[in-house]
Amino acid sequence: MNGFDVRFSYQNEKIKPSNINTNEVTNNNDEYFEFVDEFNGALEMKTLAYDGTGSGIRAIVSFNPPITESEHIMKTGEKTGRVVNTQNGVLIGKMSFQMLADEFDKNWFSLETSTTSAPKTGIMINIDGINSYYYDAQTTFNFTDNTASKNADLSNLIVSSGIENENEENSTYKEYVLNPTFNKDIYNYELKLYDYIEKIDIKALLSDEKSNMKIKVPKKDTNNNLIYESDETTIVYEEKDITNNIALPVFINKIGEPDTEITIKVTAEDGKTEKKYKLVLKRPYGTIKGKIFMEPIKFTTEEHIAEVLAYLDKDIEGLVDWSSMINNSNSSISDNLNTIFRGDITISQKGISEKVKIITNKDGTFEIYLIPETYHILIDRKGYLDQYYINIEVTENMTIDLSEKESNGVIELIAGDIDKDGLIGIKDKMIMTKENGKSKILDSSFNEKCDFNDDGLIDIKDKTLSTKDNGLKRKIIDLKGGNT
């Protein structure tokens, strides 16, 4: 062999020649190629601009006189010169490449020898520094990838809630649509939740099962309250394991709290390549606020504490006839609605899908955060007339102050409705007479519904209040139709 022309092509965006010692990308053939052993000095290579399609290297390999015969370099005659005998396999030289892709495709490489002089060539490939792979071919060779994968992609991210059931009527499963639609090359997502739920299920699917992942979520205490740093502003996050294609329950931040930020970190098999997918859960809401006042409390504890309960219109549509309530307030509807909240009964058993309840501050002020929908609000305290605000259209970022719907600027609850039928009347007086004289400390059967001023005694003060407001009915204020 006096010389041969080798055309070595490769996809430039996938691999590039690199320094044999440092693996740094280089275009210098003296750095990415070297002859070995008996061929070092006997052969030389000159690279030219590749004239084929695609990217690659065209190399001319020839003898570099004077040439000394050796085990594989042989003289065949005075005119034919020297040849390299590769019959039993011999390593001529080494070439180094840096792979820029996550996965390897043998089709990226091809070897073309001269059509006039085509020696029997072979390629030995070594990636992991230990095992070598030899391929004997005249025009092509294969490349065996034994390196750890650099694939750190997710193939899908599924967010859901509820429980799947073969019977659709009993199934509560719901799958949410991410914004934007999931793509392995998109790393930031947003989801607006319009449900009253405490947790969601996150299912992440790996593109390469040899990779692994962790999930970082806001840290919560046993009551599902956010844990903050000492500055009381910065949310503490914790990292957890998450298994491929297995749903992991994640407790989300409450309505009115900061957005829930969830990060899934995928680490490829090589232990170095990482990708992070971030999901921000937003909970759109409007605010209902107000201030409650109770005159009997003014002269004792001064703690104007009551309950504020919100009901979705669609949930109690068949349970409450507001027209009938307005025309005849004498009913036990508030007690029935309160039972749904106070009893340990699942909401589905009662036909109610959502409920929201808060307790006012000691000064009577309150704020309740509600997902955009139509609501009815019940304000209630034991022994007092309940009060309703109905047909409230809650929209995102809006604030409604119920106190502004009252002439005196506060929501004043009236004492005396002991049996909670919406009317202060003879039945309440009868109960008051029976309970008169009892003490919270001394009597185990003390009825706190009759202690209007919350002083621990049922006495003439409470009885006077009951008589004073005899005949008053509960208020139902229709925000669409005015006061009633």
Whether the predicted pLDDT of 133 surpasses 50: no
- The mean-pLDDT minimum among 10-14, 62-66, 190-194, 382-386 falls in 10-14
- Is the fold of 154-282 the same as that of 286-483? yes
pLDDT of residue 285: 95
- pLDDT 10s digits, 259-271: 999 999 999 988 8
431 exposed, middle or buried (CB, 10 Å; 0-12, 13-18, 19+)? middle
pLDDT digits over 341-365, tens only? 433 333 333 344 446 788 999 999 9
Count the neighbouring beta carbons within 10 Å of the beta carbon of residue 35: 18
CATH number of 154-282: 2.60.40
CATH: 3.40.1190.20, 2.60.40.4130, 2.60.40.10, 3.40.50.2300. Which one for 286-483?
2.60.40.4130
Which DSSP category does 337 fall into? H
For the chain, the farthest-separated pair of C-alpha atoms sits apart, in whole angstroms, at 136
Residue 249's DSSP bridge partners are 201
Amino acid at 270: D
- In this structure, the strands spanning 411-412 and 286-293 are parallel
Q: What are phi and psi of 33, to 5 degrees?
A: -135, 145
* Res 110: pLDDT: 53
DSSP secondary structure, 119-169, as one string: ---EEEEESSSS-EEEEE-SS-------SPP----EEEEEEEES---SSGG
Can you tell me the distance from the alpha carbon of 87 to that of 180, in angstroms, rounded to the nearest whole number? 59
Sorted by where each begins, the domain ranges of the chain are 3-136, 154-282, 286-483
pLDDT tens digit string along 33-83? 888 888 888 888 877 655 555 556 667 777 888 888 888 888 776 655 677
pLDDT of residue 352: 42
Round to whole Å and give the CA distance between 69 and 283: 81
**Residue range 305-319: average pLDDT?**
82
Over residues 223-233, the pLDDT tens digits come to 889 999 999 99
